[in-house]
Amino acid sequence: MENCIFCKIINKEIPSYSVYEDEDIYAFLDITQTTKGHTLVIPKKHITDIFDYDDELAAVVFSKVPKIARSMEKAFPDMQGLNMVNNNKEMAYQSVFHSHIHLIPRYTKKDDFALTFKDNGKKYTSEMMTKIAKSIQEEIE
Ligand code: AMP
Ligand code: ZN
């Protein structure tokens, strides 16, 4: 897609630090390197976000993530864990609108990655939880 920075990276119009490439995906270093080895995995097909995948493309793209994760684990013996992050739409901090999965190696509790989940569980009754689950369930195609 025209004016998409990640399409330009796939087409080598913009340089990148390549990690892995095949007919379906491209993986390259995120320029910010939040932690050493911070990598982005992107489909070669331009799609905007998670809402844009059909089952087939999702199977192809996401099935290739574990082997890249494993290669990072081998490459960095001091790596203690890995966060996978996938931001979708501006509200969720997406800034490049070509779908991508962040693979962020973790080395110490004090490294530069932060993600917190506030526990709001006490605000939801069992009835509320059932209703919420059902409302999603009813929309699954
Ligand atoms: P997000 O905020 O989830 O949409 O992530 C977009 C990511 O793309 C950010 O972490 C940027 O650092 C990264 N990024 C943007 N431009 C480039 C580039 N030319 N090469 C590598 N990473 C990039
Ligand atoms: Zn694109």
- Give CA–CA dist 140/55, Å, rounded: 13
Q: Identify the CATH class of 5-115.
A: alpha beta
Q: Tell me the residue ranges of DSSP E strands in 1-141.
A: 18-21, 25-29, 39-43, 81-85, 101-106
**What ligand 1 atom has the least distance to the C-alpha of 38?**
10
Q: What is the pLDDT, as a whole number, of residue 87?
A: 98
Let me know if 38 is a catalytic residue: no
Beta carbon of 5 within 6 Å of any ligand 1 atom:
yes
Find the ligand nearest to 93 CA. Answer: 1
Instruction: Copy the structure tokens of residue 26.
Output: 């491209």
The ligand minimizing its distance to the Cα of 6 is: 2
Give the Cα separation of 90 and 130 in Å (integer): 29
Please name which of 32, 30, 45, 35 lies closest in space to residue 101, comparing C-alpha atoms: 30
Ranges of each domain in the chain: 5-115
Give pLDDT tens digits for 74-130: 999 999 999 999 999 999 999 999 999 999 999 999 999 999 999 999 999 999 999
Q: What's the gap in Å between 80 CA and the centre of ligand 1?
A: 23
Contacts of 111 (CB under 8 A, 6+ apart): 35
> What span, in angstroms and rounded, lies between the C-alpha atoms of 131 and 1?
40
For β-strands 39-43 and 101-106, DSSP reports them as: antiparallel
What pLDDT, in 10s, does the model give residues 28-81? 999 999 999 999 999 999 999 999 999 999 999 999 999 999 999 999 999 999
